[in-house]
Amino acid sequence: MIQEGTGAVTSESQGAIGFITFSHPAHNSLPSKLLRLLAERILELGRNPLLKVIVLKSGGDRTFCAGANFREMAAIQDLEESTQFFKGFANVINAIRTCGKIVIGRLQGKAVGGGVGLAAAVDYCMATKWSSIRLSEISLGIGPFVIEPALRRKIGVSGFSQLALNPTEWQTAKWAKQQGLFQEMFDTTDLLDNYMARYLDKLQSYDLNALGAMKAVLWEGTEHWEHTLVKRSKQSGSLLLSAYCQERLSKLLQKEKFT
C-alpha cells in the first residue's frame, strides 16, 4: 500500500487479475499525489506479463469518486501548478488507454467530475443502481475538458452535453447504462461483486494476445490524446485561476466546514 497524506492507493494480484484500489476520506476525491500514484500503478500492472486484466475500484460503499480534490484546487496559485494538477487526470486516462491490459471499472456508488471520467476511460464498467453521476465543473467556473474525449467516445456529444450543461443535476445509473457509460448495472454491491467474480474468472481464461489485440482495437484513433489531454489540462488550469472559480471553491469549502 502507498499512502499520500490521508489517501491511499493499493494493488494486488489474484491469478491473472490485477486490482487497484484508491481511497480518500473526502469522498474518494483525488489530489494530485493520488492521481500520480494511480497512473504509475496502472502502467506498472500493465507491464506485468502474468496479468491479463486490471480492475479499478475505490474504497468504501457510498461514493466511487468525487473527482478533483477541492482543497488542493483552492490552494493552487499559478498556471504551471494548475496545469500540472489537471494533467494528473490526463495521465490516469492515458495510462488506462496505453497500459495494454483490459481495464474493468467497479462503481459501487456516486461519481462526480473526474470520477465520471474514470468510468468513461475504463474498457468495461460495472456499477450499482446507486451509481448516479454528475459533471459539476461548469458550475465552478471550469469545464470537464480533460475528461471530455473519454466521455464523448462512450456516450457521444449529446450525452456529454446533457451532463456538462446540467452541472447541478444527477443522472441516474439507469441513464448512464442507457447511454453506454455503464455496461452492467446491479441492485446491490453484493450482486455486482458476485457477477464480477464470475466475469473475471472467464476473462482471465482467454488468450493474453487476443485480449491485447482487442485492447488495441478498442482504442484505435486515440493516439492524439497524448497531446490533446495536455492541451485540455492547460485550458482547465487557466480557468481554475479565475476570480469566479476561486470564489466558488471558497464558498464550497466554507460550507464544508459547517456540514
Grid coordinates given for 92: 490516469
pLDDT of residue 82: 97
Residue 208: the pLDDT is 98
State the Cα–Cα distance between residues 67 and 48, nearest whole angstrom. Answer: 28
Measure the CA–CA gap between 172 and 189, rounded to whole angstroms.
Answer: 16
Grid cell of 23 as nine digits: 481511497
Alpha-carbon gap, residue 225 to 72, rounded angstroms: 25
6 pLDDT band, cuts 50/70/90, is: confident
Q: Name the band, by pLDDT with cuts 50, 70 and 90, for residue 258.
A: very low
Q: Is pLDDT of 124 > 60?
A: yes
- Name residue, grid cell 487526470: 89
- What pLDDT is attached to residue 64? 98
Other residues' Cβ atoms within 10 Å of the Cβ of residue 23: 18
Query: What pLDDT shows up at residue 5?
Result: 58
Residue 106's DSSP bridge partners are 126
Q: How far is CA 226 from CA 97, 131, 230, 233, in A?
A: 10, 29, 7, 11
2 pLDDT higher than 60 = no
Does residue 183 or residue 256 have the better pLDDT?
Answer: 183
Q: Which residue type does 147 have?
A: I
Average pLDDT estimate for 180-207: 98
Contact 11, 20 (CB under 8 A): yes
Distance CA 22, CA 9 (A): 4
Which whole number is the average pLDDT over 107-134? 99
Q: What mean pLDDT is reported for the chain? A: 96
Q: SS3 breakdown of the chain: % helix, strand, coil, rounded to 5?
A: 50, 20, 30
Residue 24 backbone phi and psi in degrees, to 5 = -155, 140
* 225 has pLDDT over 70: yes
Residue 116 in this model has a pLDDT that exceeds 70: yes
Cell representation of residue 29 = 476525491
Judge whether 154 and 122 are in contact, CB under 8 Å. no
User: Tell me, what DSSP letter sits at residue 141?
Assistant: T
Nearest one of 41, 49, 43, 51 to 18, comparing CA atoms: 51
Instruction: Give per-residue pLDDT as tens, 40-95.
Output: 999 999 999 999 999 999 999 989 999 999 999 999 999 999 999 999 999 999 99
DSSP string, 193-205: HHHHHHHHHHHTT
pLDDT for position 35: 98
Contact in structure between 6 and 42 (CB atoms under 8 Å): no
Rounded average pLDDT over 158-165 = 98
pLDDT tops 80 at residue 257: no
Residue identified by cell 496502472 is: 42
Q: Which three cell numbers stand for residue 171?
A: 443522472
Span 2-189+207-257 CATH architecture: Alpha-Beta Complex (3.90)
Over residues 234-251, mean pLDDT: 96
More confident residue, 5 or 103: 103
